[in-house]
Amino acid sequence: MRAMQLEAPGKPLVLRARETPVAGDHGLLIKVAACGVCRTDLHVVDGELSDAKPKVVPGHEVIGTVAALGPRVESFSLGERVGVPWLGWTCGECAYCLTGRENLCEFARFTGYTLDGGYAEYMAADARFCFLLPERYSDVEAAPLLCAGLIGYRALRAAGDPRRIGIYGFGAAAHIVTQISCYEGREILAFTRKGDTTAQRFARTLGASWAGGSDEKSPGLLDAAILFAPVGSLVPSALQAVRKGGTVVCAGIHMTDIPSFPYSLLWGERRIVSVANLTRADGVAFLGLASRMPMQITAVPYPFTAANSALDALREGTLTGAAVLTMN
């Protein structure tokens, strides 16, 4: 098979011929149809996340069909469409796994990082961590649901029950969270890169009541803020924008250092929390919601051999919505 492989952190991906993987005992062999390009992929490729598997194939928003089944798989059938997310395996035995917090498992393995992912014609995945997908979405539309949607959903739930939410960084996850929030009757204010009027218009079309630059003052106090932009300096800004008792959720796996700030910004029972990975329960809940509500998924397709171009567009902030690699 062909795959886009990371030869060394900080270097472009390289197209390689590799052996087609095989399904393990609990595994699936998946013929990949599409794979979303996530900011976490960018952190892996750029070396901002260390300890990646040598020569790893990135990609953890994978859509494909089951081409082979491991001997202990009973939950899927040949030819079914499945999705593969970031969380690829957990031990099932540690204190985190046994208390419903498998996203924090110390031994967890992650698709496209410590396990080979979906920037390839085929991939192997543990069936216990794969999902069936809502039929209403095409392959390209479904791919961003597997991380942008899932992590955005977990971040929204980590914010509590806010009515007025500020979203900092308006990319793939934000454009899904905005729609969920509006569907649930919440108000969204979008904070984009300074001067990014395209992203601001996009946010308004999805239901945001206000959109402006992250350098602008919020037009009113927020109940919560969700940071998708991996920019630590936005944390004090978000704290300043939330009311007493409000929550600032840091939703990225990587963020630049948070600068020092006066205690007065935190005082008043404001909280800063992070979101780490996802659980399978998140996947069931979010995909159930996605099957019920009419999400508009904005995705820009790229041939999978053009993965470096898609990563460049994400790095430069020129995407509207999500980038998705296609295998056709």
79-88, 235-244, 313-322: the lowest-pLDDT one: 313-322
What's the burial of 219, exposed, middle or buried (CB within 10 Å: 0-12/13-18/19+)?
exposed
Q: Give the per-residue pLDDT at 234.
A: 97
Both 188 and 267 in one domain: the answer is yes
Domain boundary among 258, 274, 290: 274
Binning pLDDT at 50, 70 and 90, where does residue 328 land?
A: confident
**Residue written as token pair 């005082």:** 267
pLDDT for residue 208 is more than 90: yes
Backbone angles phi, psi at 110, to 5 degrees: -125, 135
Picking from 283, 282, 255, the residue whose alpha carbon sits closest to that of residue 158 is: 282
Domain range enclosing 225: 152-274
Total count of domains within the chain: 2
Q: Give the per-residue pLDDT at 186.
A: 98
Q: Give the per-residue pLDDT at 233.
A: 97
Q: Give the per-residue pLDDT at 54.
A: 96
- Summarised one tens digit per residue, pLDDT across range 218-267 is 999 999 999 999 999 999 999 999 999 999 999 999 999 999 999 999 99
Both 112 and 174 in one domain: the answer is no
CA dist 195 → 200, 202, 320 (Å): 9, 13, 15
Both 313 and 262 in one domain: the answer is no
Both tokens assigned to 196 = 């990014």
Both 294 and 202 in one domain: the answer is no
Give me the CATH number covering residue 39. Answer: 3.90.180.10
Give me the CATH number covering residue 253. Answer: 3.40.50.720
Both tokens assigned to 40 = 């976490």
Q: Give the per-residue pLDDT at 162.
A: 98
- Summarised one tens digit per residue, pLDDT across range 42-66 is 999 999 998 999 999 999 999 999 9
Q: Give the per-residue pLDDT at 211.
A: 97
CA dist 206 → 184, 291, 294, 296, 321 (Å): 13, 18, 12, 8, 11
Both 13 and 48 in one domain: the answer is yes
Both tokens assigned to 107 = 């031994």
Rounded-to-integer distance, Cα 189 and Cα 205, Å: 12
Domain boundary among 255, 274, 293: 274
Rounded-to-integer distance, Cα 255 and Cα 251, Å: 9
Both 243 and 120 in one domain: the answer is no
CA dist 230 → 111, 191, 234, 261, 294 (Å): 21, 13, 9, 18, 29
Q: Where are the alpha helices (DSSP H) in 252-301?
A: 280-292
Both tokens assigned to 261 = 């700030």
For residues 100-115, give the mean pLDDT.
98
Both 23 and 120 in one domain: the answer is yes
Both 145 and 283 in one domain: the answer is yes
Q: Give the per-residue pLDDT at 143.
A: 98
Write down the mean pLDDT value for the chain.
Answer: 96
Domain boundary among 235, 256, 274: 274
Both 266 and 284 in one domain: the answer is no
Both 193 and 47 in one domain: the answer is no
- pLDDT above 90 covers a percentage of the chain that reads 98
The answer to whether 176 and 95 have CB atoms below 8 angstroms apart is no
- pLDDT above 70 covers a percentage of the chain that reads 100
Both 48 and 117 in one domain: the answer is yes
For residues 75-79, give the mean pLDDT.
96
Q: Hey, is 61 helix, strand or coil?
A: coil
Both 171 and 51 in one domain: the answer is no
**Residue written as token pair 């308006």:** 170
**Which residues, other chains included, contact 23 with Cβ-Cβ below 8 Å and sequence gap of 6+?**
29, 68, 69, 70, 73, 124
Q: Give the per-residue pLDDT at 287.
A: 97
pLDDT for residue 324 is more than 80: yes
Q: What is the DSSP letter of 120?
A: B
Q: What is the DSSP letter of 253?
A: S
